[in-house]
Amino acid sequence: MTDAGSAAGLPDVIRLGTRRSALAMAQSGMVARDLEAVTGRRVELVQIVSEGDTTRASLASLGGTGVFATRLREALLAGECDLLVHSLKDLPTAPAPGLVIAATPRRADARDVIITRDGTRLEDLPAGSRVGTGSPRRIAQVRAANPGVEIHDLRGNVDSRMARVRDGELDAIVLAAAGLSRLGADIDLHVEPRDLVAWPTAAGQGVLAVETRADAAPALLEALRRLDDPVTRYAQEVERTILAGIEAGCHAPVGVHAFLDGDRMRVRADVLGADPAQTVATDEDVLIGTISAAGAEGYSRDSGSADGDAPGATPRASDIGHEIARRLLAAGASELISGPSTL
């Protein structure tokens, strides 16, 4: 629902920059519709092509998934668009100068799923089965679940990835449940969701990040804040603080998920080794109190604001994340991080 005050100071057309992939367009379209409802303004999708969209090289060789964000952010800073929508898991944890994550809408399903032709569980795939994924975290998790399978690099859109299973080129692939849901994909293959406690996913997986310039019009910043979900913001800040605290890039073999339930939070974090016996893991239960919209303000490292400014922010999300990161490092996590420390 819009009001005259929230719409004042906004352009007639708000430009939302997005990658041109089907998933990026679907995610951006979701935010665009919500922003139109809040502002009463039309939101136009502006397609921006990144290096990651035009090369077939593996993500690891390109320096990780942050390659998708660089060109988008350049376009935002250059004034080619007014805001961006990212998959938060793809963003570096370090703040981007001049930019702010103004909203993290309610999180979608954060689980990974295994896609197969016949519903065979990952653990039951016969030796030599071909499993597709390009993520070091997923590679380590797949090998821990079934050491006998062969890992094959996986690029392309969701349809082309699933086609490699359907056509028999691969026996299984690993995808994010959130992407499948947002695409509304009609899946004629078997989907096996993985439990987040046993198989924690990337920090911020399932979360969309709505980014704009730090000097954006106050009316736009206020409109975007109305899309923010405080519980999602708190959880992702804990996860991303852990990732930053152990100096791991978003492409490192780290799985972390914060489960919020009332006034408590459970955090599962795994720093995965090539040998499953090397994995450093922690499973924490923390009393956090009630999270309100006011109490969530200031939590995000991406906003550049001080956590101490957040009313009722005790304990702070960043404090929890730093403490868990400290424990992981004390247990030897730094020796297992093979990915780049920054993206």
Architecture of domain 4-108+202-334: 3-Layer(aba) Sandwich (3.40)
- Tokens for 261, please give them: 């339930």
Q: How far apart, in Å, are the Cα atoms of 166 and each of 19, 169, 171, 273?
A: 26, 8, 8, 31
The parts of the chain modelled with pLDDT lower than 50 are: 5, 59-63, 65, 295-314, 339-343
The predicted model scores a pTM of 0.87
CA distance 29 to 209: 13
* Cβ-proximal residues to 163 (8 Å cutoff; 6+ apart), any chain: none
Beta pairing partners, 174 = 114
pLDDT at site 218: 97
pLDDT at site 6: 54
pLDDT at site 303: 44
Per-residue pLDDT of 158-208, as tens digits, reads 999 999 999 999 999 999 999 999 998 778 999 999 999 999 999 999 999
- Tokens for 43, please give them: 């939101």
pLDDT at site 293: 56
Residues 177 and 109: beta-carbon distance below 8 Å = yes
Residues 24 and 203: beta-carbon distance below 8 Å = no
- Tokens for 189, please give them: 């293959």
Residue type for 317, please?
A
* Cβ-proximal residues to 172 (8 Å cutoff; 6+ apart), any chain: 114, 115, 116, 120, 122, 125, 129, 130, 131, 132, 149, 165
Residues 151 and 174: beta-carbon distance below 8 Å = no
- Tokens for 257, please give them: 């998920």
* Cβ-proximal residues to 243 (8 Å cutoff; 6+ apart), any chain: 93, 203, 250, 252, 254, 256
**Residue 80 in 3-state DSSP?**
coil
Residue type for 95, please?
P
Domain 112-193 = CATH 3.40.190.10: yes
Q: So where are the chain's domains?
A: 4-108+202-334, 112-193
Residue 284's H or E segment, with its range, is strand 280-287
CA angle 66, 209, 287 (to 5 degrees): 110
CA distance 32 to 43: 6
